[in-house]
Structure 1
């Protein structure tokens, strides 16, 4: 795995590296995620195991329009700044609560490819909250989709001013709607519209080994 040197950002140590698809990722040492259960394997023990997502970085030509969406619609607070990196945080959640906006005026538009992120998702409690956000987003003059039924949740999509696709998704009805929590994830579940293609889908999926 190609990686850089350990560095520090906003008081936290991090190790930058690239995944097999070339995506830029970072392992970050953060006390904020200490309460999360570590993802252990036979080779990786709890003290070195990952515990979840810490943050996401959006590279934009201009930070201000996107910053306005984060603060005015989603209630994020503007925080620390280091060079062209602007940090935004929220107290609404305990972890994965950080969004960094990186201002690169000459950066080209990103392209979707293997390993890239399709969108940034924001979690909301239910459909009532979802539709309240839809009204706020429309009042900002942004185009947003109708409510979409994703079987396990309902969602909306819109592009923020910098062109990044944002999703809002509900907790309900949840992934236990068609299987108990005790066996969650042990079988392949498909939306009804894809059931007729189950055999073809299963043939092309990679084998996942539980270590």
Structure 2
């Protein structure tokens, strides 16, 4: 039983079309699955990833049109980072994002790596992290676009940031239950690593008791998911989480992977998810995300579901 790294991060958007435009056109990610929230099929669930939809590269969004603003604070997944191949790539992205008139901070060095923090149009807190000096979990498959060269393209998810009022309860779950290792810390940021390590397998926990508790809205993150090998291993994780006394979902079949959800003591929602079967289970690899995909248990409701969703239109 070993956490292999980051599987996906699921966030919230108010506007699916604007979200689609930004993450495909500006960020150059591939929409690998256009589906719905399986617990509420009235809303989109969009999956952006690398060129092949590999685990460890999925940044997903639930559309909730009635959302208000996010009031940032603790007990939250406070930043999602994305991996790029090199320090030079960060300079490319800094210029590109500034030209798009986004809120972009200067490039900094953290834990020996260069990083660029910025916000998307809904104030989603994001960062790009350079893999130039990185070792560990392999990157995803970069996708070249007309205006994003292959050597600068995003290649997966980087460290996930938690912000908590007290480190100890979260650290106990990460280390004693999930098997992460605390590597080091800088100021009030504590770095934890799993599996092969590296940018694709880290959680950075910010401890800050001065902040209020976050009130989520558009631009906030719903949960972070971490990779386990297969269903058999996930069933063992279910037992471990239950024995730890954590309220949890039990094993949930999401069709493209199996999942387990639970909240750690600082109220952050964590998911463990299997690497497979994968997004090409019901669509050919070369046409992922082009049509609305539904798991079998929702297929008989397709007509009603499609009638309640606004079609997404590509600018290309």
TM-score range, shorter chain: 0.7 to 0.9
- Which one of the candidate residues 178, 193, 218 is aligned to 1:89? 193
Distance 1:27 1:90, change over 3 A: same
Partners of 1:69 and 1:17 in 2: how far apart? 29
Quote the residue 2:104 is aligned against: 3
Q: How much is the aligned-residue C-alpha RMSD, in angstroms?
A: 2.2
Distance 1:136 1:3, change over 3 A: same
- Which one of the candidate residues 194, 202, 211 is aligned to 1:98? 202
Mapping of residues 27-46 of structure 1, within 5 Å: 27-31=128-132, 32=134, 36-46=140-150
Partners of 2:138 and 2:222 in 1: how far apart? 28
- 1:124–1:130 CA contact under 8 A, matched in 2: yes
Deviations 1:172-210 (A, max 9, x none): 4332332333433332211342423243244x1432356
Mapping of residues 149-168 of structure 1, within 5 Å: 149-168=253-272
Shift of 1:103: 0.1
* Secondary structure of the structure 2 residue equivalent to 1:5: coil
Quote the residue 1:174 is aligned against: 278
Shift of 1:4: 1.3
Quote the residue 2:304 is aligned against: 197
TM-score (norm 2): 0.61
Answering whether residue 175 of structure 2 is matched by residue 66 of structure 1, we say: no
* Secondary structure of the structure 1 residue equivalent to 2:221: coil
Structure 1 unaligned segments of length 5 or more: list them.
none
Structure 2 unaligned segments of length 5 or more: list them.
1-101
Quote the residue 1:208 is aligned against: 314
Partners of 2:198 and 2:184 in 1: how far apart? 18
Shift of 1:79: 0.8
Shift of 1:3: 1.0
Partners of 1:169 and 1:42 in 2: how far apart? 33
More off after superposition, 177-186 vs 131-140: 177-186
More off after superposition, 182-191 vs 76-85: 182-191
Which of 1 and 2 has higher RCO (CA within 8 Å, sep 6+)?
Answer: 2
More off after superposition, 175-184 vs 74-83: 175-184
Partners of 2:138 and 2:315 in 1: how far apart? 26
* Secondary structure of the structure 2 residue equivalent to 1:155: strand
* Secondary structure of the structure 2 residue equivalent to 1:67: helix
- 1:73–1:133 CA contact under 8 A, matched in 2: no
Shift of 1:160: 0.7
Distance 1:75 1:92, change over 3 A: farther
Shift of 1:106: 2.5
Higher strand share: 2
Shift of 1:91: 2.6
Partners of 1:71 and 1:38 in 2: how far apart? 32
